[in-house]
Amino acid sequence: MRQLLKFLALSAALLTIAACGGGGGGSSGSSGSVAPLAQVATVGIALTDAPSPEYDQVLATVTSVQLLGNGAPVTVFSGAETIDLLRLAGYSELFAVSDQVPAGTYNKIRLMLSNLELVTLNPDGTVDKSITAKLVANGKIDLNPRGPFVVAGGSTLVITLDFDVKKSLKIKETGHGQVIVRPVIFVDIANGQPAPGLTRIHGLVTIINTDGSLRLCQTALVSSAFDDNRHGGSDRCVRVSTDGNTGVFGPNGLPEQIADLTVGEEATVFGRLRPLDDANDHDDDNDGINDEDDDNDGRGDHRVADRNHDGEANERFGLDAYIIEEGLLGTFKRIAGTVTLPVDSATDRFEFDVAPSQGLIVDGAIAAQLYPKSRIFSAAGVELTRDSLDTGVHAIADSVLAISNGEADVLRTALVTVDDVTVGETAVSGSVLSVNGNSLRMSTATGDRCVQAETADIFLIDESHGSLESTRGSLADLQSGQHINVFGTEGIGGCVIADTILAQVD
């Protein structure tokens, strides 16, 4: 069933696996012929991030991804794709899919990056300042898990990459007028239900089935730094399932019904991404009937896990939908701000103070209108109630601005993502003095500190072999005098309760 492999890597970019040149117009590592199913696997890459208070955009360009094992390197992506990592705050996005990843055992993922740009914006959304960060090892980054990971033939995997820009910017360095950034990525590899975050996919509705399910073929990346539609194609189609609680919202921001959806329109869908299993997903309603075409209308009504169904490539991933937003990409704006008045139970509205530098300038707080099927989630993907939108809470609202001549303007809101704010969050740099059990002492510029590290993720960073290499380790790997960066919260008695420790290998 589910197998998880979690490791943290230091890099300035994303792991991307693209099929048939998808994901930036590059090439995949497969040959011209299609390998038998038992020799290859399907891999989907989902990207996510957390908001950063220091910059408005973090633009990372990926040029190559290889999987390294005992044999020759397997090139799974070659091209150029620039992603604004901060557009991924509070959700993941299906970044790339390949159904021709050779089965085998791998122990390293190599990324090649060409650029990392840090941008601040003016209140109207124009660029105020842009800084091109220096890429260590010329952008060559090797990611090592604790041990080898297996890609089984015929399997379907979801790899979720959590790019933690907030941690990354706390260990930036400046030298000779350049900013050197060592970003942090958490990786989750699963062949079952992925980590419980929301996934966002924008695309074209190509099939609508009688049970309310539909096929959505991705046409653009929401996180792309540029307005392009380079991500189309049948290899990027997912099967979207709905239920009675799924909220459907029209291009004007008002609620609609699933029956109002039409083939050929664009939509953005939020939900839980999961691999599909042909053996189990033919009979989704457990009625004992293969659901490919229950009413013999030729459409394969019940969320069919098919191969070349209706002339299109097979669906290997499903998306259980919470919210469907109709319209072109950008119809619903993701508007960050702070709640100034909680939700009024009579009107289902809350007051929202819009943050600057988003191109939306309003005079004071604006009303955000919720509807019966509007949903509220934490950044970690946990569903919340209206009570979570309390005064002072930071959030991102998926909304359409409705301008009225006779009444106050209002944000028609389909989805709200509440920021997960950690009280006492801190970052400390220094050198190891001693390690004792599950704790350590370290020297810093302001004096010695104690660190509680019982549950900390520890990673060894080596820059001595022509690449930035990250390997998962333990407290036993730390040595006196070794330079470390500690991330965590301030505990009682002056100790840092660490969640992540990055240790430099000399």
Q: How far apart are CA 61 and CA 45, in angstroms?
A: 16
Do 201 and 218 form a contact (C-beta atoms < 8 A)? yes
Q: What is the mean pLDDT of residues 306-316?
A: 50
Nearest to 460 by CA among 503, 402, 416: 503
| 26-77 confidence digits (pLDDT tens) | 433 443 445 666 798 877 777 788 777 788 888 988 888 777 888 888 777 7
Sequence-distant (≥ 6) Cβ neighbours of residue 170 within 8 angstroms:
427, 485, 487
C-alpha separations of 286 from 190, 243, 275, 308 in Å: 24, 16, 18, 23
Partners of residue 364 on adjacent β-strands? none
Residue 424 burial by CB count (10 A; 0-12/13-18/19+): exposed, middle or buried? exposed
Q: Rounded to 5 degrees, what are φ and ψ at 24?
A: 110, 10
Do 67 and 77 form a contact (C-beta atoms < 8 A)? no
* DSSP structure class, residue 477: G
Do 437 and 480 form a contact (C-beta atoms < 8 A)? no
Q: How far apart are CA 55 and CA 51, in angstroms?
A: 9
Is residue 230 very low, low, confident or very high in pLDDT (cuts 50, 70, 90)?
Answer: low
Q: What is the mean pLDDT of residues 204-214?
A: 94
| 319-361 confidence digits (pLDDT tens) | 999 999 999 999 999 999 999 999 999 999 999 999 888 877 7
Sequence-distant (≥ 6) Cβ neighbours of residue 293 within 8 angstroms:
299, 300, 301, 304
Per CATH, domain 425-505 is 3.40.50.150: no
Q: How far apart are CA 296 and CA 304, in angstroms?
A: 13
Average pLDDT, the chain: 80
Q: Rounded to 5 degrees, what are φ and ψ at 100?
A: -130, 35
CATH code of 333-418, in short, is 2.40.50.320
Tokens 């209002």 correspond to 410
Provide the Cα torsion 123, 125, 128, 134; round to 10°: 130
DSSP 179-242: EE---EEEEEEESSS--S--EEEEEEEEEE-TTS-EEEEEEE-TTBSS---TT-SGGGEEEEE-
Which residues of the chain are in CATH 2.40.50.320 domains?
A: 333-418
Amino acid (one-letter) located at 392: G
Q: What six digits make up the tokens of 473?
A: 């380790």
DSSP 277-344: -HHHHT-TT-SSS-TTSTTSSSS-TTT---SSGGGSPPP-EEEEEEEEEESSTTSSEEEEEEEEEEEE
Which residues of the chain are in CATH 2.40.50.140 domains?
A: 425-505
| 386-430 confidence digits (pLDDT tens) | 999 999 999 999 999 998 766 788 999 999 999 866 666 888 999
Q: What's the pTM?
A: 0.80
Q: Rounded to 5 degrees, what are φ and ψ at 38?
A: -65, -15
Q: How far apart are CA 95 and CA 193, in angstroms?
A: 17
pLDDT at 205: 96
Of the two residues 409 and 3, the one the predictor is more confident about is: 409
Q: What is the 3-state secondary structure (H, E, C) of 42-111?
A: EEEEEEEECCCCCCCEEEEEEEEEEEEECCCCEEEEEEEEEEEHHHHECCEEEEEEEEEEECEEEEEEEE
Residue percentage of the chain with pLDDT more than 70? 80
Q: What six digits make up the tokens of 199?
A: 């996934």
Q: Rounded to 5 degrees, what are φ and ψ at 462?
A: -125, 125
Query: Is the pLDDT at 312 greater than 80, yes or no?
Result: no
Query: Is the pLDDT at 226 greater than 80, yes or no?
Result: no
Of the two residues 77 and 235, the one the predictor is more confident about is: 77
Q: How far apart are CA 1 and CA 6, in angstroms?
A: 16
Amino acid (one-letter) located at 295: D
| 143-175 confidence digits (pLDDT tens) | 777 778 888 898 877 777 777 877 777 777 777
Q: What six digits make up the tokens of 278?
A: 């042909």
Do 253 and 324 form a contact (C-beta atoms < 8 A)? no
Partners of residue 352 on adjacent β-strands? 339, 366
Do 187 and 470 form a contact (C-beta atoms < 8 A)? no
Query: Is the pLDDT at 213 greater than 90, yes or no?
Result: yes
Q: Count CB-CB contacts under 10 A for residue 408.
A: 9
Sequence-distant (≥ 6) Cβ neighbours of residue 346 within 8 angstroms:
none
pLDDT at 83: 87
